[in-house]
Chain A
Amino acid sequence: MHIAIILVLGLVAGILVGLMGIGGGIVVVPALVYFLGMGEHTAQGTSLFILLPPLGLGALAVYWKERHVDLPAGIACAAGILLGGYFGGKLAVGISSRPLQALFGIFLVFSAIMLWREAGKSPPAKEGPHA
């Protein structure tokens, strides 16, 4: 039963990975805490472990075929994330995650509102008359 829940959890996270172009940790972490009763730090560490293999590769192939990829930008981001991840991990292990979680949530809500306005304002470039 326990194992079945974990397997289904992976599949649901994966669908979100492909649909949203994200790593999946954002859904895996809260799910590990709520469904499996893990501590916040262990859930975050396990999530980073899951993300070590290139799990988004299958999804990336789908985006690649539709030419929805900016390769140089992606590589630049990867280098930055690798470097920043080290300091973030060090920082996290030493502190309580509650205020951070609140800050993170507020950042997400703020981004959502900005993106929503962006979508309402004008059609994205590819739909525009210049495409």
Chain B
Amino acid sequence: MLSLRPRLWTIFLTGCVVGICSGLFGVGGGVILIPLLVLLFGFEQHVAQGTSLVALVPPTGLLGFLAYYHAHKVDVKVGLLIIPGVFLGGILGGKLAERLAPRKMRLVFAGFLFVLGAWQALSAFSK
């Protein structure tokens, strides 16, 4: 257990960095956390994804949210309408993920990141 501690501290610090990105970009952080868990800590893809979901169970974005709320940068009505779909879709997606082999899962995730990243970068440059 003692030997686990330094690892957990490093993971905690990684979480801090992910949190800063989470507040900056308005995302949950999983999309940053998962590659870090895989590349820095050698997590298997499905375990990295499951662990990321644990990290997102508590309202970790609360403090970031409050900063936006005080600046009147929140649309509560639209937010409430999106919530039920995300919850139900999450169960569906989880079942889908468990049917994929670990290697294939990693490739699907990498492809997803690539498309999203390219989209973000391109739209930032073309604005």
Are B98 and A89 in contact, with the CB atoms below 8 A? no
Are A72 and B81 in contact, with the CB atoms below 8 A? no
Are A14 and B92 in contact, with the CB atoms below 8 A? yes
B residues 86-127 in Cβ contact with A at 8 Å: 86-98, 101-103, 106-114, 116-125, 127
Are B16 and A101 in contact, with the CB atoms below 8 A? no
Are B39 and A82 in contact, with the CB atoms below 8 A? no
Are B95 and A82 in contact, with the CB atoms below 8 A? no
Are A80 and B19 in contact, with the CB atoms below 8 A? yes
Does A1 lie at the interface of the complex (its beta carbon under 8 Å from any beta carbon of B)?
no
User: A14–B117 Cα gap in the complex (Å)?
Assistant: 19
* In the complex with contacts A6-B81, A6-B82, A51-B56 CB distance below 8 A: yes
Does B2 lie at the interface of the complex (its beta carbon under 8 Å from any beta carbon of A)?
no
Query: In the assembled complex, how far is the CB of residue B91 from the closest CB belonging to chain A, in whole angstroms?
Result: 4
A54: chain B residues at CB < 8 Å are: 56-59
Query: Which residue of the partner chain, among B8, B21, B25, B86, contacts A55 with CB atoms under 8 Å?
Result: B86
Are B50 and A21 in contact, with the CB atoms below 8 A? yes
Query: In the assembled complex, how far is the CB of residue A23 from the closest CB belonging to chain B, in whole angstroms?
Result: 2
User: A19–B45 Cα gap in the complex (Å)?
Assistant: 11
Query: Which residue of the partner chain, among A14, A108, A124, contacts B113 with CB atoms under 8 Å?
Result: A108
- List the interface of chain A (C-beta within 8 A of B): 3, 6-30, 32, 36, 38-39, 41-64, 66, 68-93, 97-102, 104-116, 118-119, 123-127
